[in-house]
Amino acid sequence: MKVLILSSDYFEDAELLVPYYRLKEEGIPVEIASDKTGTIIGKHGYEVAVDKKLSEIVPQDYDVLLLPGGKAPAALREEPSALAIAKVFMQNDRPVAAVCHGPQILISAGVLKNRHATCYRAVADEMRQAGAHYEDREVVVDGNLVTSRQPADLPAFMREFMKLLKNRASR
């Protein structure tokens, strides 16, 4: 199993780092792809090394997609390659986890219609307009999709995300 994280500058530090290190703790390989090379810097100053540019990503090389929030998704949703990656994962029923503003990438990719999901409250109307069934809960699981609202929801998000990964690995 291999996880792909899509992010950029001004990511929400906890929403990227908590899943990143939890996955590493389990021995799961994780790569970070961005619209830039080198490092990306979080809202609170943490720096994270970028493994690949978005244009270098072959979605079939990964099993899971993770979309942390913060301001990074607003930039990534403008990148056609980020949207194409999200579409491949969603259309092929591969695990996708998105927290806070992360679902903005899925909204722009047009893959949330008739899906149950949650997000940061400022994105909720946009999510509804995209045809999703918005639920104001700490975590929502809909098949291959796990979503959460904010950093405070990370314990519930990670519990359900890890459960999804373990269930997929046992197939």
Question: Mean pLDDT score of the chain, rounded to an integer?
Answer: 97
- Average pLDDT of the residues in 105-126: 98
133 is a catalytic site residue: no
Q: Which domains does the chain have, with CATH numbers?
A: 3-169 (3.40.50.880)
In angstroms, the CA 80 to CA 76 distance is 8
pLDDT tops 80 at residue 171: no
Residues 6+ positions from 63 with CB-CB distance below 8 Å: 1, 2, 3, 94, 95, 168
Whole-prediction pTM value? 0.97
pLDDT tops 80 at residue 170: no
- Average pLDDT of the residues in 122-147: 97
In angstroms, the CA 145 to CA 88 distance is 13
Percent of the chain with pLDDT over 70: 99
In angstroms, the CA 7 to CA 11 distance is 7
pLDDT for residue 103: 98
pLDDT for residue 148: 98
Q: How many residues comprise the chain?
A: 171
Instruction: Tell me the two tokens of residue 158.
Output: 């990670």
pLDDT tops 90 at residue 169: no
